Amino acid sequence: MTIQENYELAKKAYEKWGINVDEVIETLKNVPISIHCWQGDDIGGFEVNQQELSGGISVTGNYPGKASTPEELRADLEKALSLIPGKHRVNLHAIYAETNGEVVERDQLEPKHFENWVNWAKENGLGLDYNPTLFSHPKADDGLTLSHPNEEIREFWINHCIGSRKIGEYFGKELGTPALTNIWIPDGYKDIPSDRLTPRKRLKESLDKIFAVEVDEKYNLDAVESKVFGLGSESYVVGSHEFYLNYAMKNDKLCLLDTGHYHPTETVSNKISSMLLFSEKLALHVSRPVRWDSDHVVILDDELKEIALEIVRNDALDRVIIGLDFFDASINRVAAWTIGTRNMIKALLSAMLVPNEYLKQLQEEGNFTERLALMEEFKTYPFGAVWDYYCEKMGVPVRESWLEEVKAYEQEVLLKR
């Protein structure tokens, strides 16, 4: 049978439950995923005085073909985007600035250092998001930045974050879609602290200074991101979930949830509904932790499906900003982007092809038998036929055929670097 014929059969199966599959596809087309640029070069960036990776971040593997210039990185992103259905966004870190060979300190970065990225985004119909880079720098060598006891070091990072928000605002103005500028810091202690409060007090004061500078929310959205622990900060992280959740709520900022930044038994999917009750918007960095925040490529596992369900069933597609955050240097980097992003989109499609309102009704009625039966049966409904049709309709390879394009790109481009 053809893809179209399989799709028509699938449509009939879903229509029995009141699901308009054509409408689902139209909705999905307009859901952007923010794809992280740093998968393509192992979080190296393009600083003239490039530093070794730090901040509790580790990239393993040495697969050939890593991007070493902005042009290579953009070409690799273009290849990945050509294999992913829909129109999306690209997420940048400050270390991806282009300074034409000049050493420019991070607190001196300006919009002009990202003009090439903006021009490229315009050409490809993409939005851009942004992150200040508070790691891999001499002023972060001791693992402290915005909470540092040295005021001069704190001011350096405060100014970097203020400049970053202005760069985000520039992205939003130029591209007609607001940038999400997200602050994550590695601050913490390896061993048990004797004072948990004072570093958090300094972090709060630093954030207050950063956000005191007016930036137009029409063009830039501010987010803060927590972490449970990191390499070198195993015992204490200053920017904990509780700290940032309270700070975001009190100061009307977005709280960003990274799926790898919690205890192994915590799930981000379970946090989404609670946060939507108290926040107009929230942001995600979707990753895959394997025993710790290891940033594995996102797969279509139960937690990813549950995250998508929580977004869809709560009618929050326009309230949850979805970004990705993983990096694996042991496999083809373009393939990693393609696998992870396609899986995020698959999870959203799968969630849209569930009779969510009817399942809610069953729960309210206390009919837990039918609720469980249907939730299980829908796991084997013909979702794959709809996904294949969606890919074909959007002009990207169907099923695993995209892998042949990546293999050819590897031979023709990546292995010649």
Which residues are known to be catalytic?
184, 225, 227, 258, 261, 285, 293, 295, 325
**Taking a C-beta distance cutoff of 8 angstroms, is the pair 38, 323 a contact?**
no
Q: Ramachandran region of residue 100, left (φ > 0), alpha (ψ -120 to 50) or beta?
A: left
Q: Which ranges in 100-150 belong to alpha helices (H)? A: 115-124
33 close to 348: Cβ distance less than 8 angstroms: no
Q: Which residues contact 198 (CB under 8 A, 6 or more apart)?
A: none
| Tokens, residue 68 | 């070493």
